[in-house]
Each structure stands twice: as structure tokens, then as C-alpha cells.
Amino acid sequence: MQRDCLTTSEINNQKELERMKRGVFICIEGLDKSGKTTHSALLVKALCRRGYDAIYTAEPSDGKIGRFIREYILNRKERVSAMVEALLFAADRTEHTENFIKPNLERGKIIVSDRYLFSSLAYQGAAGLDIDWIREVNKAAIKPDIAIFIDVPIEVVLQRFHDKRSIMECEETQEKVREIYMKMARDGDLIIVDGKGPVEETARSIEMLVLKKIKDLEGSYKIGN
């Protein structure tokens, strides 16, 4: 006789199986030219060497909205309104989350994202938008398992800027952005890593933080590898 419904025990077993294997979502944040892209890539390589199935992604994404942001928003001579920026980044993030991040987490992959929601909170927040409103329009974003802020002094960042800068790469903007990032760190949303030393030292610090988090999570469920 065929049953139409699962028993409570069977449902619980299915939920347990789903919980047993999932990915890990890692975000790397920082000011422009802080080294976050370099360290995101180094972290992926380090995790892969240890046998984890780790992949790199970034925001703006490679999707249509992300490409539009890079080409028509970040490279403008004059900045568009902060609200327009925030809505475009939120739309790109929603698409990125639904089409790339969630599916890969479900496959058990470890995702290292070079920027995520915290960048919108910092950059559009620094432009005067209400932080709560930014969070509201980013409701589709998911909470990372660990988010790291690579802290580099403003004067060091400014020295790394080239003659051709994006509209975000000015001293006043970077100072305001850093203030918001530091507040998020104080609130426990971000873990600060000193980024002004040798690349190898910073990379090692990030790797150790992430490995500890993965080990902690492995106590709760199976990480895909």
C-alpha cells in the first residue's frame, strides 16, 4: 500500500541528511586597494590545497547587473545618487545570491566572496543612506558563516591608488567607509585582520581564522570536500 505522507521520524531523518552536508560562505571585505581581492584568491588556493572544494566569487558580480555597475556606475566621472547605487547593488546581490551562492552552498562548496552586503552598508552608508534601509533592500542577502575585514591605514590605501581612480577612491569617502566598517566590527559582524604587514602574514591570519570556523562548523554538519 502506497503512503501519501512521510512519518515524523522520516521527515526528521531527511532534515538531518540535508543538514549533514552544506557549504560554507566566507566574505572578505576592505577598503579599495586593501588587498581583499588578492587575499580572497589566496584563501581559495589555500583551502583547495587542504582538500576543500573552494571557489571564488566577487561583487559586483559577473551577471548583467554587475557588469552594468562596473561599466556605467563605478567608472563615471560623477557619482550617481547613493540610492541608485544601493538599489543596483542590491539587485545584483539578489541575483548573485539566488543564482550562484545558494546553489553552490547546496552543493557543499566553500564560497569566498570578494565583497558582499557589508560593502553596501559601508559605501552607501558613508554616502548618507540609512543603514537600516540598506539592510531592508538587501533582505535577499544571506548571512555569511564568517566575514573578515582587512584593515589597512587610509594613508597606505591612498598610496596604492593609480591616476585613474573609481568614483569611490577618494580620501574622504575611504575615511567614512572605514568608520562604518570598524563599527560593524565592534558590533561583531566582522572580524578585523591587520592588512598592513607582509602579504604572507595577512594571508596566514585569514587562513587560520577560516580554518577554525570550518572546524567549528564541522562539529555541526559535514562540510563538502
Confidence label for 19 from pLDDT (cuts 50, 70 and 90)? very low
Residue 188 lies in a domain: yes
pLDDT above 50: residue 10 = no
Residue 10 lies in a domain: no
Q: For residue 62, give its domain range.
A: 24-220
From the list 149, 127, 130, the residue with the least C-alpha distance to 138 is 130
Residue whose C-alpha is closest to residue 211's, from 142, 112, 143:
112
Question: Is 163 a residue whose pLDDT tops 90?
Answer: no
Question: pLDDT band at 85, cuts 50/70/90?
Answer: very high
In a domain, 60, yes or no: yes
Which residue type sits at 148? Answer: I
- Number of structural domains, the chain? 1
In a domain, 4, yes or no: no
Within a domain: 14 = no
Report yes or no on 186 lying in a domain: yes
Q: What pLDDT, on the 0 to 100 scale, is given for residue 172?
A: 87
Burial of 186 (0-12, 13-18, 19+ CB in 10 A): exposed
- Residue 111 sits in a domain of what CATH number? 3.40.50.300
Q: Are 114 and 60 in contact (CB under 8 A)?
A: no
pLDDT at 166 over 80: no
pLDDT confidence bin for 224, thresholds 50/70/90: low
Which amino acid makes up residue 12? Answer: N
Q: In what order do the strands lie in the sheet with 146-151?
A: 54-58, 110-114, 24-30, 146-151, 191-194
Q: Is residue 38 part of a domain?
A: yes
Structural domain includes residue 108: yes
